[in-house]
Structure 1
């Protein structure tokens, strides 16, 4: 199996994930390629929304730290268990927890399993384009930018040396992937020699669109499930 894995997410998250991967027998390298910065935003009239959609725990943190709480009538939708857990830490119980990405919400609406309505989506300044497809299935969508992603630069020599001694690379967002490419500069071909794992379908799509192969994507965006599945796949079990 791959003995050494590279984590590219922000430092505080990567250090938490380090313990998870070590539990499954991996040696871990951490090279954060992105960080997050809060944005100023005007709080809309929350009572006017049927739904609040959170695509990541980061969206939860930056929005609810400012707002405090949501109206009781608002049905909260979360992507992934980690986002749901972060909501619960703010004493918000999700109405619906999606596996995968916003595409699952689109499927539910198209299949008539979720009635469209007014939907508030706090999130990054540059969200996935799939978010805006909610309007095509009847949602009155308000995307509210509450944070932005900034790329973290490292000396090129350090990035190349770190990547050379790793067997697998984990990307948890399109931004972490783009951030590593920016740092690799003229050494991007080195990444093609590695096992690439994406946390979810949106990240997988970004990696493939850039011409790289993805070894696998777990059925839901959970680091423990990703580490377990990767270990089992590389062990042939």
Structure 2
């Protein structure tokens, strides 16, 4: 699709949390509740942007291959939480010395968006001023923090004044977006990832590249892409 993709590793909140462990739930809960890990994730994102832009201007494989004015960030679950805050969602207690929102990010993609904790939604998301694609499922429960599928729509409802798309995939669970073999075959629907990826590319082409055909597809409900029972909402496009 013509996009350079960088995948971040977050030591302390990555797959090492559950690999080879019997107490997976306890380990995940401890990581989610660790405020230092949350801040470290945001620092990782800021560092990655610093490094990406530095390498783009120096001899190497990235030199001359990126447009620093068209950078998007995407994440699933805790990754979605990370993207939301990099784009300006308020943290309880302030920004803790971080430069947020990071103005270098132009677009966000949220798989299993995370509702705010400790702050009213509209206040929490008041600073978010970048286009967003939200992708969730009708069975997207968060068993660690007790999030219900309807809660995944709170960010979309609370944010206003910027182009947004919400896709709710029928039957998709939280694990369906994770692409983790350990989740088991019962979570796998080979079309969830294809639908999410196609939506993401269509959205990015619309908001980053100004692709008129892609925007028409979004506004018309991406015919032929979604399955029966899926739901798509578009709001605040000019």
Normalised-by-shorter TM-score class: 0.3 to 0.5
Which protein is richer in helix relative to its size?
1
TM-score by length of 2: 0.35
TM-score by length of 1: 0.35
- For CA contacts below 8 A with separation 6 or more, give which structure has more relative contact order: 1
Which of 1 and 2 has greater Rg? 1
Which protein is richer in strand relative to its size?
1
